A and B are shown apart, each in its own frame.
Chain A
Amino acid sequence: MIRTIFTFCFFALLVYDATGQNDIVTNQQAESLEDEKQKIAKVISSVIGWAKDKNLDLFYSSIAQDEDYISVTPGKRVIKRFEDVKQNVPFWMSPEFKYVRHELKDLEIKFARCGEVAWFFCILDDINSYKGESASWENTRWTGVVEKRDGKWVVVQQHFSFESK
């Protein structure tokens, strides 16, 4: 009798685990994944869009504030830690630097299986002016990695480049 009860309970638990409950979780996960994608897209956009209102706090909260942060720019500059980002601040915050608009095209976000990391690709138009002259990045290939830290997505590495002719 005990063996029968044991066997019944054991298989009941396996079936419970392998069928309906998992389907429900999968649907919830799909919705959650879409939510997370939207959050990531917002963070990625903020890495450029903060300049509209010169909201430096928004920019700093969108990137990893650590020694391992890396940002490869289309020019020769490679930023290799968060502190180096600050070297550009006088330029960005100057009244001569004016944000015009930005657009992310063809954005693709892929999640790691752990769900706590994602990587992205898009084409960026970042249109600005400095002293009335164009200071834009157009048709920029932009890839990067985001990690969820303390419940918030942050860009931990990014790479901007122009096509080489």
Chain B
Amino acid sequence: MKCLFFMLALVYSSQPLTSSQNISNPFNIQQEKQLVEKVIHGSIGWAKNKDINLLYSIIANDTSFIEVHPEEKVVRGFEDFKKAEKFWMNPDFKAIRYEIKDLSINFSNSGEVAWFFCMLDDINEWKGRPANWENTRWTGVLEKRNGKWVIVQQHFSFASE
């Protein structure tokens, strides 16, 4: 009987251990930084090949997503975010190059959230004219969901004179 309850306790108590990744996958900061950096780059770099699926896999697909633009626009929710698709996918919109400078990434103690700061030059054309964000201050927050980092909030701005 003792053996029975011991087995029962073992089976039950093993559930949280197997569901938690703490034991099987210890947090590797360098590895996670590389993954986060790739996501940050992907959120701008997708435009080179107009890989919209890449972009949508990087942005949190939920109603609470927020994105502040240098201009007046504040995107609220993933559906609102997708409204820009017509502009981006238009043949008149062309990604020329982008550069991310001074990137710093920090992780929460839990290892499940990251936040970053960088300077962004995002150089594009619209109908042959520049459509750029230069010297843009870019901050953001990412959360690891189902093993993948996604951007849950971001803020782009230009320094005010």
Chain A interface, number of residues (Cβ within 8 angstroms): 36
- Complex contacts, B155 vs chain A, CB 8 Å: 72, 141, 143, 159, 161
CA A10 to CA B143, docked complex, whole Å: 35
Of the listed residues B64, B106, B112, the one surrounded by the most CB atoms of chain A closer than 10 A to its CB is: B106
A119 and B159 contact, CB distance less than 8 A: no
**Contact residue among A110, A145, A156, A163 (Cβ-Cβ distance under 8 Å from B72):** A163
Chain B residue nearest in CB terms to A115: B110
- Complex contacts, A110 vs chain B, CB 8 Å: 64, 152-153
**Contact residue among B11, B74, B109 (Cβ-Cβ distance under 8 Å from A141):** B74
- Complex contacts, A6 vs chain B, CB 8 Å: 4, 7-8
- Complex contacts, B74 vs chain A, CB 8 Å: 121, 141
- Complex contacts, B117 vs chain A, CB 8 Å: 70, 72, 78, 157, 159
For the A-B complex, the count of residue pairs with Cβ-Cβ distances under 8 Å equals 111
Interface residues of B in 90-140 (CB under 8 A from A): 104, 106, 108-110, 112-113, 115, 117, 137, 139
- The answer to whether residues A141 and B4 also contact, given A112-B112, A117-B108, A149-B109 and a CB cut-off of 8 A, is no
Chain A residue nearest in CB terms to B66: A121
- Complex contacts, A131 vs chain B, CB 8 Å: none
A76 and B113 contact, CB distance less than 8 A: no
Report the minimum CB–CB distance from B78 to chain A (whole Å). 13
A residues near B, CB below 8 A? 2, 5-6, 9-10, 13, 68, 70, 72, 74-76, 78, 80, 108, 110, 112-114, 116-117, 119, 121, 141, 143, 145, 147, 149, 156-157, 159, 161-165
CB<8 Å pairs between A and B, sample of 8? A13-B12, A72-B137, A72-B139, A74-B157, A78-B137, A164-B70, A164-B160, A165-B71
